[in-house]
Amino acid sequence: MSLKAGIFDLDGVIVFTDKFHYQAWKKMADDMGIYFDEEINNRLRGVSRMDSLEIILERYEGEPLSQEKKEALAAQKNETYRKLLATMTPEDVTQEVRDTLEEIRRRGYGISLGSSSKNAKFILEQVNLLDAFDKISDGNNITKSKPDPEVFLKGAEFLGEKPEDCLVVEDAEAGIDAGIAGGMKTAAIGDAVNCGKADYTLGTFSDLLKILV
C-alpha cells in the first residue's frame, strides 16, 4: 500500500449543505408546480446542477422547456442556494474534521478537494477551510459528474500523484463508483457505507488517521 494523498468530496463529508440544496430546489419546484421531496433530493447527491435539474423535471408535466429556460431555472436555484450558503460560518465544520485534515497534512499526504459543486470554493471560504486543501478540483474544472471519475482524476493530476496512490473519501455511492472507476482507493462515510463497495469504511472522519498512517 502506497497511499500518498487524500481526495475529499465536500457535501456530506466536510460540510452538510444537503438541506440548503433541498430548500433551494424545493422553492424552484414549488414555483413551477413540480412535486419534489427529500427522497428525490437524495438522488441529487454528487450530481451536477444541470443533471440534478433533469432529475427534478422527471415530475414536470407542462410544455417542453427550452435549454434557455432550463438554464434560467438552474440559475434561479443557485441564487437561492448561495443566499443560504452565505449564512454558513466556521462553526459549520467540526473540530474533528479540521484536526484530522491538519494531521493528514502533517503526516505528509497531499490533500485535494474532489467536489461536483461550482460553489465549492465559496463554501470553503465561508467555513474558513480553504487553506486545508493543497488543490481544488470542483465543478468548474470538469465536464462529466460522478460516477465519472473526472473530478478525482483531476484532483490527482493537480497534486501530481498517480490515481492508485490516492484515497477518495466519499459519502455517495456515485462518488465511490467514481473513485473505483478512476483506479483509486476509496473510503466510505455516511450513506456510502451501505453500498459495500469501498475499500475502507469510516465510522467517523478521524478514522482516516488509521488509514493514512
Residues classed as catalytic:
9, 11
The distance of closest approach from Cβ of residue 190 to ligand BG6 in the complex, given in angstroms and rounded to an integer, is 12
The distance of closest approach from Cβ of residue 65 to ligand BG6 in the complex, given in angstroms and rounded to an integer, is 18
Strand partners, 186: 168
Alpha-carbon torsion, ordered 210, 152, 121, 139, to 10 deg: -150
How far is 130 from 187, CA to CA, in rounded Å?
A: 22
Verify binding: residue 44, ligand BG6, rule CB under 6 A.
yes
Q: Residue 78's binding partner, choosing from ligand BG6, Mg ion, none, with beta-carbon cut-off 5 to 8 A by kind?
A: ligand BG6
Verify binding: residue 11, ligand BG6, rule CB under 6 A.
yes
The distance of closest approach from Cβ of residue 72 to ligand BG6 in the complex, given in angstroms and rounded to an integer, is 15
Backbone angles phi, psi at 182, to 5 degrees: -85, 0
Alpha-carbon 22 to chain mean position: 15
Find cell 490516492 and name the residue.
Answer: 166
Considering the complex, state which of residue 11 and residue 161 has its C-beta at the smaller distance from ligand BG6. 11
Q: Which of 196, 205, 157, 202 shows the shortest CA–CA distance to 177?
A: 196
Stretch that binds ligand BG6, among 59-67, 98-106, 110-118, 126-134 (CB under 6 A): 110-118
How far is 136 from 114, CA to CA, in rounded Å?
A: 7
Footprint of ligand BG6 (CB under 6 A): 10-11, 21, 44-49, 52, 78, 115-119, 139
Q: Which residues contact Mg ion (rule: CB under 5 A)?
A: 9, 11-12, 171-172
